[in-house]
Amino acid sequence: MEKYVEMISPFTGGKVKEIRTVEEQVFRKETYSVHVRYYVCVDTGERFTTTDQDELMFNELYSQYRIRHGIPFPSEIKEIRERYGLNYSQMSKILGFGINQYAQYENGQMPSESNGKMILAAQKKEVMLQFLEATKAEYESAEYERIKQAICQAPECSKSADSLSLFYGELKRSIYNGFGLFDTNKLAQMVKFFIHHEGAVYPTKLNKEMFYADFFHYKQYGISISGLNYQAIKYGPVPVHYDTIYDHIGGVEKEIVFSHDMPSTRLSCSGYDAGVFNEKEMDTLTTVLNRIKPMKTAEIVELSHREHGWLNYEAGNHLIPYSEAFDLLLF
């Protein structure tokens, strides 16, 4: 897809087009299909990009590579270190990395396949203690004992036992959940964000707000917020098992109301924890809220029924891949 944009060419000062397409990109001798966006100077045909466009392409490329090779994502790499209460240099030293390497991995640099598997192995305390023992000669006795104690006292790496996790099991990162980490607390706060700012909302409209927030975030950054799967059903795109999600979030009040002699559930809550969202996620949520809140439920439902992500997958109620985010009509 291409369109003229309000931008002056850095080469000639003339008109500029934005191109959106899918290209084959090679990374570490492997080929991946990724969505790319770039600008073209109409006068010269020269192609140029912004940092945001490059970041989107690399995020999608790196996510596919991490999935294929079992390499942890930056948020998971950070969680492992924080669980042990260690700093970057301590983690790098224990794992035999360069002094700044662990910090670089947390900030998005791609580990080698062997280093990625080593980081994953370090999730287990007994393995981490073995790594520490192998580097014992590099520490003063007191420092070695402090680090050993920190590892021993770290909480076990275990799956969440809350009801949503037990219901969903392990949602693995894929194009069907926007390569996002399924975090039940972030999911709960995302739901409560929309309910709180709407004042009260019916599930039909809330479903669309969730869909547009996750897919719009993927369109911008190559990753979803909630890590949820979405399904194309008769009434539009919805989170899979959305009724179970809303039933199991603490602090969400449900009121049965009647309209035209038909019962419906209206949701309300007193607040949400904004601290679970980073700046980009909060900006996405706010943008979606400001766009959808003034709309009537019938309007947003009608719009969602024109989205390619619904039209292409409604027959059979299939899951909607996040690759459909690049054709969103609302944004």
CATH number of domain containing 24: 3.10.20
SS (H, E, C) 78-112: HHHHHHHCCCHHHHHHHHCCCCCHHHHHHCCCCCC
Residue 69 lies in a domain: no
Average pLDDT over residues 42-63: 95
Q: Residue 165 — pLDDT band, cuts 50, 70, 90? A: low
**Whole-number percent of the chain with pLDDT over 90:** 86
Structure tokens of 33? 């299909």
Residue 81 C-beta-side C-alpha neighbours within 13 Å: 23
In terms of domains, do 24 and 135 share one?
no
- Cα–Cα distance for residue pair 182/215, rounded to 1 Å: 15
Residue 84, classed as helix, strand or coil, is: helix
Q: Residue 65 — pLDDT band, cuts 50, 70, 90? A: very high
Residues in a beta bridge with 26 = 31
Domain assignment of residue 21, given as a range: 2-56
In terms of domains, do 313 and 265 share one?
yes
Number of domains in the chain: 3
Residue 100, classed as helix, strand or coil, is: coil
Last residue of a domain, one of 112, 129, 153: 153
In terms of domains, do 315 and 225 share one?
yes
In terms of domains, do 147 and 252 share one?
no
- Find all residues with CB under 8 Å of 161, minimum gap 6, and list them: none
In terms of domains, do 11 and 146 share one?
no
Q: Residue 235 — pLDDT band, cuts 50, 70, 90? A: confident
Residues in a beta bridge with 40 = 17, 47
User: What is the model's pTM?
Assistant: 0.84
Report, in angstroms and rounded to the nearest whole number, the Rg of the chain calculated over CA atoms.
23
Closest to 69 in 3D by CA, of 61, 57, 80, 58: 61
In terms of domains, do 314 and 193 share one?
yes
pLDDT of residue 260: 62
In terms of domains, do 181 and 132 share one?
no
- Find all residues with CB under 8 Å of 208, minimum gap 6, and list them: 236, 237, 292, 300, 301, 304
pLDDT over 80 at 252, yes or no: yes
pLDDT over 90 at 162, yes or no: no
In terms of domains, do 209 and 322 share one?
yes
pLDDT of residue 166: 58
Residue 251 lies in a domain: yes
pLDDT of residue 172: 83
Residue 229 lies in a domain: yes
Question: What sign for the dihedral angle of Cα 142, 143, 146, 148?
Answer: negative
Of the given ranges (30-34, 123-127, 159-163, 196-200), which has the lowest mean pLDDT?
A: 159-163
In terms of domains, do 313 and 167 share one?
yes
CA distance to 20, 40, 217, 284, 310, per residue, from 62 (Å) = 19, 25, 17, 22, 27
Classify residue 104 by burial, with Cβ atoms within 10 Å: 0-12, 13-18, 19+.
middle
In terms of domains, do 12 and 79 share one?
no
In terms of domains, do 208 and 282 share one?
yes
- Find all residues with CB under 8 Å of 61, minimum gap 6, and list them: 25, 27, 32, 34
